Amino acid sequence: MIRFFSLAISALALCSAPLAAQDIVITGATLAKGDGSDPITNATVVVRNGRVVAAGSDVIAPAGVPVLDGTDSWVTPGLFASITNLGLVDVDAVSGSNDVAAGDSPFSAALDVAPAINPAAQDFGYSRAGGVTRASVTPTAGSSIFAGQGAVIDLGSDYDAVTRPRAFQFVEMGERGARLAGGSRTSVYALLLNALREAGQYGDDAQLRTAGRNGSVDTGDDLPLDSRLLGRAEREGDVLLTRFDAAALVPVVRGDQKLYVAVHRANDILSVLGLRDAFPDLDLVLIGATEGWLVADRIAAAGVPVITGALIDLPESFERLAATQSNVGRMVDAGVTVAIGGYESSGDHPRNLPQQAGNMVALNNVPGATGLSWGEAFAAITSIPATIGGMDGRAGVLAPGAHGDLVIWDGDPLEVGSAPVRVFIDGVEQPLDNHQTRLRERYRSLDESQLPPAYRR
C-alpha cells in the first residue's frame, strides 16, 4: 500500500482555473517508463515546472523538493487512450448528449470535434481516475465516409482539454465505408479519390470554380483516363464535397494532417496503402486492421502505424474472418508500430486499456499465439499511441522534457486488481472523485433509519 502523502486531494469536480504545477520527487517506486523497456525497481522520478526532469534508478533526488516515498508503488507515465469518445458523449443512447456522429449533417470532413469536447462529462473523470492522462478523440462517420477531424486532448480537471485540434482526419473504408459511400467498396474508392483530387485542386486555387483545367495523366497502361475524371468537377452539381469539406482535406492531401483510415480486411489494407501511389504525401494511420497480421510485412514496409483493439478474435464480419488476439503481437514482430486503442463494445472504456495490454502479456504463454513483452505491452498504451498522436517524446513516456504526466499505482498497472492512487497531469495533481465515487460513498451503508440516502453528501 501507499505509505506517503498527506496531501489533500481536491474533491472538486472541475476547477475553472487550472491548478498549479508542483515539483514532484518520488523515490523507491517501481518505474515503468512507457518506452518499451522493462520495469525497474527502486527508482526515482523528478518532475519540475510541469515537466519530467529525470526518471531512473540512478537519479539523485534534488534538494529542496518534498519527497514522496513510493515504496511498494508503481510509477508510470499516464496512459494515452486512442480513438475515444471522451467529452463527446454523456449517455450513448441519449441523443441530445451524444455528439459522436452527425448523420444528418451537410458536412463531413469539415466536422471538427474540438469545440464539442466537454471535459465535465463523467467519462473524463472515470478515465482520469483510471490513469488516462491524454487521448485522441474522434468522431464517428455519420452520413459520409469522412467522419471529420479528431483532436488530441489532456484529461486535466479544467476546461482546457484540447491540446491539438484537427490532429487528424478520420475516414471509414471497408464494409462500413462501403455502405456509407453507396453500397460497395468500389464506391468508397471512387469517392475518396475524387475527394482527394478536389482537395488537391482546392489547395492550389483556394477556391472552387466551375471550369476545369484538366492536365494529362500517365496511367501506366494503354487506357487513358477520361479527362473529365481529372481535376475538379466540371459542373457545380458534380462536386461531392462542400467547400468546407474540400478545404478540410487540403492538409490531408499535403500530408500536413494525418489520415486515420478505418479498415480491417487484408486486401483492403493493401488497397489503402496503395493510395499513396496517387497521393504520395498522405500520412496514413490504419485503424482496426483486424487482419493486419496477414499482411504485416507490407504494413511495416510502408511505415504506416496501426491503432487496434487487442482482443478482437471473432469473425464479427466478413472483413474480419482472420481475427485473432495474436494480431498485435504478430504485427509488432513484423516491425509494425502498433498502439492498442479503440473500443468494440459498451464494456470497453479507456480505463480498461491496461486489461487489454495485460492480456497481450498473458498470450505469450499460449503455444501458437504471439503476445507482447511487458514493456512492449505497456508502450502500446503509453508512448506508442502518444507518438502516433503526434506527441513523440512528449507524452506517454517518463523521459526528460516530457509532460509531467504521472500515475502512481497500488500495484502492477497491467494487473486487473491494480488501480491509480494519484494522478498528475503537467505536474498538477488531479482530483479522482466523480459521480461513481460519490454514489459508492452514498450507498456504502443502506441504513436509512435516520434520513434517506439523499441527505448523504
Partner 1 sequence: MTRHIATRGPVTAFVAIAAFVLAGCTTAAGTERPAQASAPPAGDASAAPYASTYARYPGTPTAVVGATIYDGAGGRIDNGIVLFADGEVVGIGGADLAVPAGYTRVDGTGRFITPGIIDIHSHLGDYPTPSVQAHSDGNEATSPTTPEVWAEHSVWPQDPGFSRAMANGGITSLQILPGSANLMGGRSVTLKNVPSRTVQGMKFPGAPYSMKMACGENPKRVYGGRGRAPSTRMGNFAVNRETWLEAQDYMAEENPDRDLAMETLAGVLDGEILIQNHCYRADEMALVMDMAREFGYQVSAFHHAVESYKIADLLRDNNVCSAVWADWYGFKMEAYDAIPENAALIHNAGACVVIHSDDANGIQRLNQEAAKAQADGRRMGIEIADADVISWITLNAARAMGIADMTGSLEAGKMADVVLWNGDPLSIYSRPEMVWIDGALMYDMNNSAMRPVSDFELGQPGEGDVK
Judged by the rule CB under 8 A, the positions of this chain that interact with partner 1 are 90-94, 122-123, 126, 266, 291, 294, 311-318, 320-326, 344-347, 349, 352, 355, 358-359, 361-363, 365-369, 410, 414-419, 435-436, 439-440, 443-444, 446, 453
- Are 280 and 266 spatial neighbours (Cβ–Cβ below 8 Å)? no
Question: What does the alpha-carbon distance between residue 282 and residue 450 come to, in Å, rounded to a whole number?
Answer: 66
The Cα 359–Cα 353 span in angstroms is 10
Q: Cβ closer to partner 1: 235 or 456?
A: 456
Which is it for strands 132-137 and 146-154: parallel, antiparallel or unpaired? Answer: antiparallel
Name which of 214 and 437 has its Cβ closer to partner 1.
Answer: 437
Nearest distance from C-beta of residue 161 to partner 1, angstroms: 18
Tell me the C-alpha distance between 160 and 312, whole Å. Answer: 34
Residue placing its CB nearer to partner 1 in the complex, 239 or 263: 263
- CB-nearer residue toward partner 1: 92 or 281: 92
**CB distance 113 to 101 below 8 Å:** no
Considering the complex, what minimum distance in angstroms separates the CB of residue 212 from partner 1? Answer: 42
Residue with cell 537519479: 59
Nearest approach in angstroms of CB 398 to partner 1 is: 22
Given the complex with partner 1, which of 110 and 178 has the nearer CB atom? 178
Longest CA span, the chain:
88
Least distance between partner 1 and beta carbon 379 (Å): 17
User: C-alpha cell of 438?
Assistant: 460519490
Q: Which residue, 216 or 365, is less far from partner 1 as judged by CB?
A: 365
Nearer to partner 1, 234 or 415 (CB): 415
What does the alpha-carbon distance between residue 404 and residue 395 come to, in Å, rounded to a whole number? 8
Q: DSSP letter string over 146-177?
A: EEEEEEEEE--SSS--EEEEEEEEEEE-HHHH
For residues 167 and 283, is the Cβ–Cβ distance under 8 A? no
Please state the closest distance from residue 440 (CB atom) to partner 1, in A: 5
Collapsing DSSP to helix, strand or coil, 48 comes out as strand
Q: Which runs of consecutive H residues, i.e. helices, occur in 222-379?
A: 243-254, 266-273, 275-278, 296-302, 327-333, 353-362, 374-379
CA-CA-CA-CA torsion sign (69, 74, 76, 80): negative
Q: How far is the CB of 344 from partner 1 (least distance, A)?
A: 6
Closer residue to partner 1 (CB): 26 or 414: 414
User: Smaller CB distance to partner 1: residue 290 or 337?
Assistant: 290
CB of 309 to partner 1, least distance (A): 9
Tell me how far, at minimum, the Cβ of 369 lies from partner 1, in Å: 4
- Smallest separation (angstroms) from partner 1 to the CB of 435: 8
Whether the Cβ atoms of residue 433 and residue 159 lie closer than 8 Å to each other: no
**Shortest Å, Cβ 366 to partner 1:** 6
Shorter beta-carbon distance to partner 1: residue 221 or 447: 447
Q: What angle do CA 363, 368, 373 make, to 5 degrees?
A: 35
State the Cα–Cα distance between residues 8 and 166, nearest whole angstrom: 37
Smallest Cα–Cα separation from 347: which of 355, 339, 359? 355
